[in-house]
Chain A
Amino acid sequence: MSENEKKNVIIDLEESERVQLGGRSELESIDTSGVMSVVNVSDRSRIWNVKVHLGDSRGSTDISKESLAAGEVDIGSKWESRYKVSVDAPIVKLSEIFDTCGDIDTEDPHWAYVSGKDNPVKITLSIKNETDGEIDNIILNKTVPPELSDIQILSTKSGHAEYDEGTKQIVWKDFLIYPHEETAIVIGATGVIDDTEPRSAGEIVLTYRGEGQQRSVLDPDLTALTEFLMGIETAETEPNQWECTLECSNESDLIVRLDKAEVFVTPEGGGEKRKMIDASPSIEMTPNQQWKASFTVASKETPKCTQDLLYTPVRVVTKRVLGTIEKAPQIIPVAKIDYIKTFDPPSVNSFDKTPVEVTIEVKNTGTAKLNEITIIDNLPGDVMPPTSEHVTVWIKGKEFSGPFEFIIDPEDQEPEKHHKVTFTVKDLKDSVGEIEPGESVKINYAVMAWRNRPEKEYPSPIACSANTHPAGIEAEMSSPQDGHKLGVIYKKRAISTKKAINKGANAGEYVVVLVVSNNGEVTAENIKMTDWIPAAFEYVSTDPEDDHPTITKVDDGTNMVWNWTRMNPGDQKKMKVTVQGEGEYERREPEVTSI
């Protein structure tokens, strides 16, 4: 019989570990159980009185007895006993890194999609063999969520991976992992989400085998009986001299180990039995193999011999660990923001100077927590920008006194220029905590609308952005370039002039009364009034004196020019100009201009 044909009873330990991992690859539960089998591989011999001896090796199991009685195991049959094993961790460590922004290298992966953008997803799946033996029969199935497209297997350290578009599964298999080695696969994809509902990153199921390995420390042995022939032949070699031969033969097709052979002779006159054979051959007997042992004894009658043999079919122990790891899908939230920008008042009077409160509130309308917010507000011309120390910030409804940046470019207060106001608050996780969904960052500052003209438009577009930690693609929301116009209320301008030419007290003297009134709804500025004195007359004086005009000689007489920087609605100026001359005082209407 060749070595391969030797038949040994098999004690098989097949232990299974079923592992549940959470979305972040954290161990949630592990359930380990085993099936201990005694397999009679014989083609023709039963085994019986089968006992499995476990001794002190039951430590991590729920087996209470040192020996388990398996009874009779028929040809080709097996006996099974189930047990539980307590372990802390599986023999294989599975981890998934689902990075929603694989294009930007960070210490920790990005964990949120950005709504409305192409998210460059990178999925890294790692499997590590934590044992001293090989792990084989590995099959990993990764479910690819429907919002991912352009799925690519970027790299595999070992084995073969394929993406099945129909089942939306990535199957990675055909490899083994050597002791304490790790392997990985990297998958690339593009994630596009248009709403804010958190998404599943797809579950993973990993199956594997650790041949020759076990989770328990069971060290089983076996005793049993099988077809085994034994007897004592007594032959008289000389008168009253007997040769007694213990003969045994393995009648089974199993390997049987003879552990002990004892033969006792009962004295003729009675008395205590004498042990004539005391052997521990520990011989493994192949089918039909015989074993003999003899002794001689003097006796007048045929000696009465009894034997005590201890044998058992030889067993081998086989063992393996079969594992299944089910990783729950990571839940991927979605980052999204919205904003509200208001002017108070929303409109200003034309040609006036009006403080305007600008309030911008950026709200987290997604499902991801936000760590930083940036607001860029573009102030139009004819607006004096705020100073950087006069911004008020509220986060989560409370005034915020932590660090933030407020930059005005250019850094001046010239209202003629356009200004860009940039507000940034970062690292909120380290101050007031990240902005939860539904919470907001609000800023307020004042600008001074500066003599805005009614025919002009004053758009003040805004761009807001937000990011998670670690920072990846920004969630953005912005207005059109011509958005958020500061309204200008057109106030009618109406400057009127009235003129009277009255005779003065003296001959040739006239008193010209000029009244200029702002009858409009808005303050007039840079008012210029011009009146004319005929050539035959000379300017003498003005009452009140403070309102004396600028006198300019012209071809046909003299021009009087008054300038006022400002006239409010309802304001009136009245001057009495005394002139002296000869002849008739020709009347021309005064001219008035303003802005």
Chain B
Amino acid sequence: MLVNLTGSDRLLSITYFGHTSFALESKGTVVLLNPGIWENKPVVPDDFSARIVIATNRKDDAIGNSAAISVNSKAWFLGNKETVEKATEQGVKPWLLHVLENEVPYEVPDVRITPYNLSRIDEEKDGRIDNLGLLIEIGGMRIGYLGDTTIRGPFELLEMDILITPIGGGATFPVKDAVSLCIDAKPRIGIPMRWTSEEQPMKFSKYLEQFGQGTEAVVMQPSQKLSVQWAAGNEFRYELN
């Protein structure tokens, strides 16, 4: 559904930087997710201004240059214990750090973040490492963000308006698991991330169109911005620039 948006307090802007990096912005509050380093380059510039920076795991493609962004913009850095430890090593000041505990919400005005323990495959050591899935309530929306997950955890049971899910396989969900979760969780829109071939988002979109039972796929390209709102209080609308 592509419509012209009108002003509303319940308005959310989602910017995609590539890989698993997104910025959620509502009423001036910016939450930056996984500003990782991908193909040896940071996908988000060091001088990006955010209020909260979250890395869902300690791998470089998730934590990336979070420390620099957090320090430069004096943003809170959130992550699980081992990720926070790594951020500390990278120079984030202690007063900016906050360790997220499983299912313990973290709240600042206009934002509520509930973490859930998930895991990603460690492709180097052939094991698993902790990865957080996040339910972020911002701008009147409930956004599920799975980071680099390979399991779905409780997300199929959570009520979400938007689900941001990896689809690239390898360390994370392949397309089929992302689609399967969307079918079960029934968010209003599903946004893929972390694809490794152009075919993957096309398939994600195609499968959701067919089997999503109401969930629409929105494939964002790096630098694209998605505006989402509850128009007239209860009508869900979105527009991709």
Contacts and interface: CB of A to CB of B under 8 A. Distances in A.
A322 to B, nearest CB: 73
B153 interface: yes
Interface string B138-162: 0000000000000111001100000
B210 A390 contact: yes
A355 B211 contact: yes
A355 B156 contact: no
Contacts of B157: 565-566
A386 B208 CA distance: 11
Given A565-B156, A570-B119, A571-B151, A384 B176 contact: no
B75 to A, nearest CB: 30
B203 interface: yes
B151 A355 contact: no
A495 to B, nearest CB: 15
B180 interface: yes
Contacts of B183: 353, 448
Contacts of B209: 387, 390
B207 A448 contact: yes
Given A355-B175, A355-B203, A571 B180 contact: no
A446 B119 contact: no
A352 B179 CA distance: 11
A546 B114 CA distance: 14
B27 interface: no
A159 interface: no
A354 interface: yes
A133 interface: no
A581 interface: no
Interface in B75-134: 103, 119, 128
A390 B203 CA distance: 11
A571 B206 contact: no
Contacts of A384: 211
A355 B179 contact: yes
Nearest to A356: B176
A487 interface: no
A568 B207 contact: no
A566 B156 contact: yes
A569 interface: yes
Contacts of A448: 179, 183, 207, 210-211
B210 A568 contact: no
B17 to A, nearest CB: 27
A580 interface: no
Contacts of B184: 353, 566
A566 B203 CA distance: 25
Contact of A568 (B151, B176, B179): B151
A386 B103 CA distance: 37
A321 to B, nearest CB: 73
Contacts of A352: 176, 180
A72 to B, nearest CB: 97
Interface in B48-79: none
Interface in A378-400: 384, 386-387, 390
A354 B180 contact: yes
A384 B179 CA distance: 13
Nearest to B209: A390
A355 B175 CA distance: 9
Interface in B166-208: 175-176, 179-180, 183-184, 203, 206-207
A355 B152 CA distance: 17
Nearest to B212: A448
A386 B156 contact: no
A277 to B, nearest CB: 115
Contacts of B207: 355, 446, 448
B186 to A, nearest CB: 13
Interface size class of B (residues with CB under 8 A): 20 to 34
Contact of B153 (A387, A446, A571): A571
Interface size class of A (residues with CB under 8 A): 10 to 19
A470 B152 CA distance: 56
A421 to B, nearest CB: 13
B151 A446 contact: no
B100 to A, nearest CB: 16
A365 interface: no
A413 interface: yes
A546 B103 CA distance: 10
A354 B128 CA distance: 23
A263 to B, nearest CB: 116
A508 to B, nearest CB: 30
Contacts of A546: 103
Contacts of A480: none
A355 B153 contact: no
Q: Name which of B119, B179, B203, B211 has the most chain A CB atoms within 10 A of its CB.
A: B211
B33 to A, nearest CB: 22
B152 A568 contact: yes
B210 A446 contact: yes
A544 interface: yes
Nearest to A565: B157
A570 B153 CA distance: 10
A59 B42 CA distance: 96
Given A353-B180, A354-B176, A544-B103, A570 B211 contact: no
A547 B161 CA distance: 24
Contacts of A387: 209-210
A566 B156 CA distance: 9
A569 B151 contact: yes
A178 B230 CA distance: 91
A390 B205 CA distance: 11
Contacts of A571: 151, 153
A546 B158 CA distance: 13
Contacts of B103: 544, 546
Interface in A331-358: 352-355
B206 A446 contact: yes
B203 to A, nearest CB: 7
Contacts of B176: 352-355
B211 A413 contact: yes
Nearest to A572: B117
Nearest to B181: A353
A570 B128 CA distance: 10
B144 to A, nearest CB: 15
21 contacts: A352-B176, A352-B180, A353-B176, A353-B180, A355-B176, A355-B179, A355-B203, A386-B210, A387-B209, A390-B209, A390-B210, A448-B207, A448-B211, A546-B103, A565-B156, A566-B152, A566-B156, A566-B184, A568-B153, A569-B151, A570-B128
Interface of A: 352-355, 384, 386-387, 390, 413, 446, 448, 544, 546, 565-566, 568-571
Give 7 closest A-B pairs by Cβ, nearest first.
A353-B180, A568-B151, A355-B207, A448-B211, A354-B176, A390-B210, A387-B210
Interface of B: 103, 119, 128, 151-153, 156-157, 175-176, 179-180, 183-184, 203, 206-207, 209-211, 213
Given A353-B179, A448-B183, 13 more contacts: A352-B180, A353-B180, A353-B184, A355-B211, A413-B213, A446-B211, A544-B103, A565-B156, A566-B156, A568-B152, A570-B119, A570-B128, A571-B153
